[in-house]
Structure 1
Amino acid sequence: MAISLIDKQIMWNRLLAVVEEQAQVCQRTAFSTIVRESGDLAAGVFDAKGRMLAQAVTGTPGHINSMALAVGHVINAYPAHTMVEGDVFIHNDPWMGTGHLNDFSLTTPCFHNGKLIGFLACNSHLMDIGGLNDWSSSTDVFMEGLYLPILKIVSAGKVNDSLMAVIRANTRQPVETVGDVYSLINCNAVGCARLVDMMAEFDLSALDEVADHIIDTSEQAVLTKVRELPRGTWASEITLDGMSEPVTLKASLTIADDGIHIDYAGSAPMTKHNFNVPMCYTLAYTSYALGVSLFGAIPNNAGSLAPRFITAPEGCVLNAVKPAAVVSRHLMGLMLPDLVFNCLRQALPDRIPAEGAGVLWNMSALGPWNSPAEFGKNFMVGLVTTGGMGALPYRDGMSATGFPSGVRGGPVEIFESMSTVVVWRKELKPDSGGAGKFRGGLGQVIEMANTIPETFLAGNAFERIKFPARGANGGQDGTAGNVSLTSGESLNKKGRHPVPAGTRAVFHLPGGGGSGDPKTRAPALIKADLENGYITPEAARDTYNYTI
């Protein structure tokens, strides 16, 4: 008996609710602060063929859109007919849907009345999986931690204790790391239980008809949007700080009848440093850039992703091959939306934002709990911080916002409670957003120091220090970032740096670019910026020609 269109739509919405609950379970039970506090995760439901049907809103594009490929790799490694109820598969292969080793991906086949009906998948960031604790020094992936191929972590309901022991033995934080693995196992189990509930409620034995409806409807919706866009090809490039030398990324975007094609030919080759990007992560953030700017109302699934054709030459920094070092792949990957937007802005100048800070400034601290230091009594914590978003042609950019990652800035109170570090200052930085008819989002100033007479190490992996976010449509650039000590010493943009007792580390996060001529900004907006402390009186007078 065929399923009515209304019932198909109800089931589609139910699947969205299933994966959202799945993601919330992961976030609430996670041990890693970047997951628990900042939402660095993904959750999704797939049909029995491995096609993504729904993804949770909670999560990040880098996890979600790369996870879309992971289930297919699992099926290739363990054909569906060999799977049994209670199996769970785990891996962290950067080229199979994680992007780097710190992201664990788990896939759970879901059975109803003894029949495989689909898969629940999730992934999240783990704080430590061994390897170097300096995220700027690795030169191949094997230096970056424990490398798990696709393996069974649970077989027919029985946890693989040997594999758990291997994971536990290869991390500086065994309790947290193993706890995160169980969190991922559990969130898939909850998602599977809710999916089975839905199948029973609607008396379904398979998802095939619903899956085809979701995928076909979504693909056609994207193609309908594409047909409304101008035809043509546009190119752009962006230069990033890199490490020993700048890195240039290039893109060519074509809008055609069958979808949107993006080619990254001409981008820099792979680097000896660790910000090479596996292709799955390049696909993830390119797809997100297109989705958020052109197809925002269409749910993300295998159908809506299909008309997005993304290529990059093998061996370039955006299509790195094993065993390239990739732990900091976000330094390049998070800049791809700006590169795509720079192409789209030429075709659609009235709807595309100026460049933003892009890359998250993930701060890490490592040090002793006691003074003098005792072996084994150390802390390792991370704090997610964010710069400013670029202005839209009709609205100011958001300040201190994790765009395009979607990761929330972490509470400093949590960071402090897990270390001996105190954050003395965390505030928006006036004048850091690029001036314009619409102002770029502001960056932040963050200042931290130790509370015991021991040096701690502050970890840096930052961008937008040499090359700030560029303005658009006559808007000005945002301010560049900067890292220093209160002693006056300037710190490198990438690496771990000792912060001696009595000295504070100061981080100036970059602002987003402005959009439009600053002289055309509405006086009421300038007045509000002054009252809120977003700009200084000098900027109001000299940049905006505003009389106080």
Structure 2
Amino acid sequence: MAGLDEIRMQVMWNRLISVVEEQALTLLRTAFSTSVREAGDLSAGVFSPDGLMLAQAVTGTPGHVNTMAEAVLHFLAEIPREEMYEGDCYVTNDPWKGTGHLHDITMVAPSFKDGQLVAFFACTAHVVDIGGRGFGADGKSVYEEGILIPIMKFAERGVVNRDLINILRNNVRESNQVVGDFYSLAACNEVGHRRLIDMMVETEMADLDALGTFIFDRSRAATLERIAALPVGAWDNDMTVDGYDTPIKLVAKLTVRDDEVNADFTGTDGASKWGINCPLIYSKAYACYAIKCVVAPDIPNNSASLAPFTVTSPENILNAKRPAPVSLRHVMGHMVPDLVLGALAKALPGQIIAEGAAALWNIHISVRPQDGVQGRRAEVLMFNSGGTGARPALDGLAATAFPSGVHTMPIEATEQTGPIIVWRKELRPDSGGAGRLRGGLGQVIEIAAAQGHEFDFSAMFDRVNHPARGRDGGQQGAAGVVELDDGTKLRPKGWQHIPAGRKLVLKAPGGGGFGPASERSEDAIQADRAAGYVTGKPT
């Protein structure tokens, strides 16, 4: 009988994952912003009545999922249980209690069955605009970066907070998109709730207590078993990245004990006066993700499987305190996996991926008609990726978002959001670092305003002055380039203007190689040349 109970619990666990996957797909289908609808910049999950993550949707990003696992506890600390009702929905974009910057909206909704609280559903998505200076690094404090929504009720007993909607509409540029995304997030949680209740009624479950215990006990035991197989000790790594106007040094010490893997960021440079700082909740999310990718990639992500991975840090750029500007927290946050994996490579030599482009090459475009021309204003957000580092047994992936995992929005969808034209989007030859295994290629993108329009853009790029390093003798990837089509170099961060008639050219960086280039097979070399991945020409 015990065996049958375990099988039943495993089936219920799989059902729960299917519930949150449908929850996430609802957000994909209904979202207004292309960053959500086309790129999958979101997360969704179900939590116990105590706020512990039971299951997460596969659809989504580690930065959203792992921060959401901690964010729900902040909601429970702010809203008393006696003030929670059926039909409620709570919201925040507080960077220190949500996912690290104002552009991410987190919503949490209680799930009741027969009048009893049985779960919470939570979801997160990036909205195209949140007011203030816009999505960029130029702010000197979080107060300049947009409207901050404290943890509050988006809806109570099914009635939407119209005052909040009115405040939003009067503080953002793309009010229809933003408000539409708020409703999409609420619908996402509602679908999760309905599917959960359907499941519980069908299986005659009064609550999720036994299932939660089953999930957490097995997840924690399996994770600890993997940690026990690691060598015990401590290893350091450091890396230098571009920063805003001066280079930034990131430092990590990875300590492996019998029941814990800790990443500590002592020695990392202090907080920046520009909006590239990262709250610890986001740095922690990507540090844990990197470790889990190596140590326990096949164990489902939940509170118990994440608990043995810990992060500590004094106040610095990876643990920025309020009111530091944090709009581009993803740039530093996406560097954290390469930083942590560099330390882990010393513990597990020959087994860890080389450095890659890491940070997304996002671009926010504010396009408007030229003086005297009738046209359209729009805010356009576009995701682009460089190459990943070469792997111990495979070449790196070209134009692939690691560690975030988001998709690149199709050009057709991007051009529909505003009067811009993407003239070129192709792989960047010779950008992958040479090695026994070649680094992944970056890409080249050319963008211009449509006729009669001009645009400003927010540069959010790194690896321009400090390219991805190779591993175990592999060579570095090509550095990124930001320029006009006439060769004029532009800054890798900050708002800048593109003159009428000119094109913006982005050359995303490549990933580092793995192993000495002299050991690459002749077949692989010929295949690279035949595909045009390697030409021997300057990039």
Letter of the structure 1 residue corresponding to residue 365 of structure 2: A
Query: Could you give the per-residue CA deviations for residues 214-252 of structure 1, whole angstroms, max 9, x where no partner exists?
Result: 111111111000111111110000101001211101000
CA positional deviation for 1:71: 1.4
Secondary structure at the residue paired with 2:194?
Answer: helix
1:361 aligns with 2:361: yes
Query: Paired residue for 1:62?
Result: 63
Query: Paired residue for 1:543?
Result: none
User: What is the CA–CA distance in structure 1 between the aligned matches of 2:250 and 2:373, rounded to whole Å?
Assistant: 44
Query: Paired residue for 2:377?
Result: 378
Query: Paired residue for 1:478?
Result: 477
CA positional deviation for 1:136: 2.0
Q: Is the 8 A contact 2:353 2:390 kept in 1?
A: yes
User: What is the CA–CA distance in structure 1 between the aligned matches of 2:515 and 2:451, rounded to whole Å?
Assistant: 49
Secondary structure at the residue paired with 1:477?
Answer: coil
Query: Paired residue for 2:53?
Result: 52
User: What is the CA–CA distance in structure 2 between the aligned matches of 1:135 and 1:169, rounded to whole Å?
Assistant: 20
Query: Paired residue for 1:309?
Result: 310
Secondary structure at the residue paired with 2:172?
Answer: coil
1:435 aligns with 2:429: no
1:457 aligns with 2:456: yes
1:503 aligns with 2:518: no
Query: Paired residue for 2:322?
Result: 322
CA positional deviation for 1:134: 5.7
Query: Could you give the per-residue CA deviations for residues 383-403 of structure 1, whole angstroms, max 9, x where no partner exists?
Result: 100000000111100000000
CA positional deviation for 1:534: 0.4
Secondary structure at the residue paired with 1:68?
Answer: helix
CA positional deviation for 1:432: 0.2
Query: Are the structure 2 counterparts of residues 197 and 282 from structure 1 closer, same or farther at C-alpha, using a change threshold of 3 Å?
Result: same
User: What is the CA–CA distance in structure 2 between the aligned matches of 1:514 and 1:417, rounded to whole Å?
Assistant: 37
CA positional deviation for 1:538: 6.3
**Structure 1 stretch 170-179 or stretch 129-138: which is displaced more?**
129-138
User: What is the CA–CA distance in structure 2 between the aligned matches of 1:370 and 1:487, rounded to whole Å?
Assistant: 21
User: What is the CA–CA distance in structure 2 between the aligned matches of 1:75 and 1:451, rounded to whole Å?
Assistant: 48
Letter of the structure 2 residue corresponding to residue 493 of structure 1: P
User: What is the CA–CA distance in structure 2 between the aligned matches of 1:216 and 1:193, rounded to whole Å?
Assistant: 27
CA positional deviation for 1:458: 2.5
Q: Is the 8 A contact 2:45 2:122 kept in 1?
A: yes
Matching of residues 23-42 of structure 1 within 5 Å: 23-42=24-43
1:159 aligns with 2:160: yes
Letter of the structure 2 residue corresponding to residue 400 of structure 1: A
Secondary structure at the residue paired with 1:145?
Answer: coil
Query: Paired residue for 2:74?
Result: 73
CA positional deviation for 1:409: 1.0
User: What is the CA–CA distance in structure 2 between the aligned matches of 1:454 and 1:154, rounded to whole Å?
Assistant: 40
Letter of the structure 1 residue corresponding to residue 56 of structure 2: Q
Query: Are the structure 2 counterparts of residues 267 and 520 from structure 1 closer, same or farther at C-alpha, using a change threshold of 3 Å?
Result: same
Q: TM-score, normalised by structure 1?
A: 0.96
**Structure 1 stretch 127-136 or stretch 336-345: which is displaced more?**
127-136
1:406 aligns with 2:426: no
User: What is the CA–CA distance in structure 2 between the aligned matches of 1:48 and 1:280, rounded to whole Å?
Assistant: 22
1:264 aligns with 2:265: yes
Q: Is the 8 A contact 1:252 1:343 kept in 2?
A: yes
User: What is the CA–CA distance in structure 1 between the aligned matches of 2:381 and 2:140, rounded to whole Å?
Assistant: 22
User: What is the CA–CA distance in structure 2 between the aligned matches of 1:134 and 1:303, rounded to whole Å?
Assistant: 34
Query: Are the structure 2 counterparts of residues 538 and 465 from structure 1 closer, same or farther at C-alpha, using a change threshold of 3 Å?
Result: closer
User: What is the CA–CA distance in structure 2 between the aligned matches of 1:133 and 1:198, rounded to whole Å?
Assistant: 42
Query: Paired residue for 2:335?
Result: 335
Secondary structure at the residue paired with 2:434?
Answer: coil
Matching of residues 240-259 of structure 1 within 5 Å: 240-259=241-260
Query: Could you give the per-residue CA deviations for residues 72-130 of structure 1, whole angstroms, max 9, x where no partner exists?
Result: 11111112233111111011111112210110100000001111001000010001111
Q: Is the 8 A contact 2:419 2:453 kept in 1?
A: no
Query: Paired residue for 1:191?
Result: 192
Query: Paired residue for 2:294?
Result: 293
Q: Which runs of 5 or more residues in structure 1 are unaligned?
A: 540-548
Matching of residues 62-101 of structure 1 within 5 Å: 62-101=63-102
Query: Could you give the per-residue CA deviations for residues 140-190 of structure 1, whole angstroms, max 9, x where no partner exists?
Result: 111111111111111011111111111121111111010000000000000
1:176 aligns with 2:177: yes
User: What is the CA–CA distance in structure 2 between the aligned matches of 1:431 and 1:41, rounded to whole Å?
Assistant: 33
User: What is the CA–CA distance in structure 2 between the aligned matches of 1:147 and 1:502, rounded to whole Å?
Assistant: 37
Q: Which runs of 5 or more residues in structure 2 are unaligned?
A: none
Letter of the structure 1 residue corresponding to residue 257 of structure 2: A
User: What is the CA–CA distance in structure 2 between the aligned matches of 1:538 and 1:34, rounded to whole Å?
Assistant: 34
Q: Is the 8 A contact 2:216 2:303 kept in 1?
A: yes
Query: Are the structure 2 counterparts of residues 209 and 379 from structure 1 closer, same or farther at C-alpha, using a change threshold of 3 Å?
Result: same
Query: Are the structure 2 counterparts of residues 498 and 538 from structure 1 closer, same or farther at C-alpha, using a change threshold of 3 Å?
Result: closer
Letter of the structure 2 residue corresponding to residue 435 of structure 1: A
User: What is the CA–CA distance in structure 1 between the aligned matches of 2:44 and 2:408, rounded to whole Å?
Assistant: 20
Q: Is the 8 A contact 1:422 1:451 kept in 2?
A: yes
Letter of the structure 2 residue corresponding to residue 108 of structure 1: A
CA positional deviation for 1:279: 1.1
User: What is the CA–CA distance in structure 1 between the aligned matches of 2:297 and 2:245, rounded to whole Å?
Assistant: 38
Q: Is the 8 A contact 1:370 1:452 kept in 2?
A: no
Query: Could you give the per-residue CA deviations for residues 393-434 of structure 1, whole angstroms, max 9, x where no partner exists?
Result: 111000000000011111111122222221111111111000
Q: Is the 8 A contact 2:106 2:125 kept in 1?
A: yes
Q: Is the 8 A contact 1:355 1:513 kept in 2?
A: yes
**Structure 1 stretch 529-538 or stretch 142-151: which is displaced more?**
529-538
Secondary structure at the residue paired with 1:385?
Answer: coil
User: What is the CA–CA distance in structure 2 between the aligned matches of 1:307 and 1:504, rounded to whole Å?
Assistant: 49
Letter of the structure 2 residue corresponding to residue 492 of structure 1: R
- Runs (4+) of structure 1 moved beyond 4 Å? none
CA positional deviation for 1:501: 2.0
User: What is the CA–CA distance in structure 1 between the aligned matches of 2:173 and 2:132, rounded to whole Å?
Assistant: 10
**Structure 1 stretch 5-14 or stretch 79-88: which is displaced more?**
79-88
Query: Could you give the per-residue CA deviations for residues 360-381 of structure 1, whole angstroms, max 9, x where no partner exists?
Result: 0001221225763469x41110
Secondary structure at the residue paired with 2:533?
Answer: coil
Letter of the structure 2 residue corresponding to residue 349 of structure 1: P
User: What is the CA–CA distance in structure 2 between the aligned matches of 1:295 and 1:201, rounded to whole Å?
Assistant: 33
Query: Paired residue for 2:490?
Result: 491
Secondary structure at the residue paired with 2:362?
Answer: strand
Query: Are the structure 2 counterparts of residues 524 and 538 from structure 1 closer, same or farther at C-alpha, using a change threshold of 3 Å?
Result: farther
User: What is the CA–CA distance in structure 1 between the aligned matches of 2:153 and 2:373, rounded to whole Å?
Assistant: 40
Q: Is the 8 A contact 1:383 1:412 kept in 2?
A: no
Secondary structure at the residue paired with 1:214?
Answer: helix
Letter of the structure 2 residue corresponding to residue 137 of structure 1: D
User: What is the CA–CA distance in structure 2 between the aligned matches of 1:369 and 1:16, rounded to whole Å?
Assistant: 47
Q: Is the 8 A contact 1:480 1:511 kept in 2?
A: yes
CA positional deviation for 1:454: 3.6
User: What is the CA–CA distance in structure 1 between the aligned matches of 2:98 and 2:213, rounded to whole Å?
Assistant: 23
Query: Paired residue for 1:388?
Result: 387
Secondary structure at the residue paired with 1:221?
Answer: helix
Query: Are the structure 2 counterparts of residues 134 and 63 from structure 1 closer, same or farther at C-alpha, using a change threshold of 3 Å?
Result: closer
Q: Is the 8 A contact 1:454 1:501 kept in 2?
A: yes
User: What is the CA–CA distance in structure 1 between the aligned matches of 2:416 and 2:204, rounded to whole Å?
Assistant: 50
Q: Is the 8 A contact 1:449 1:505 kept in 2?
A: yes
Query: Paired residue for 2:425?
Result: 426
Query: Could you give the per-residue CA deviations for residues 438-470 of structure 1, whole angstroms, max 9, x where no partner exists?
Result: 000000111122221443212211000000000
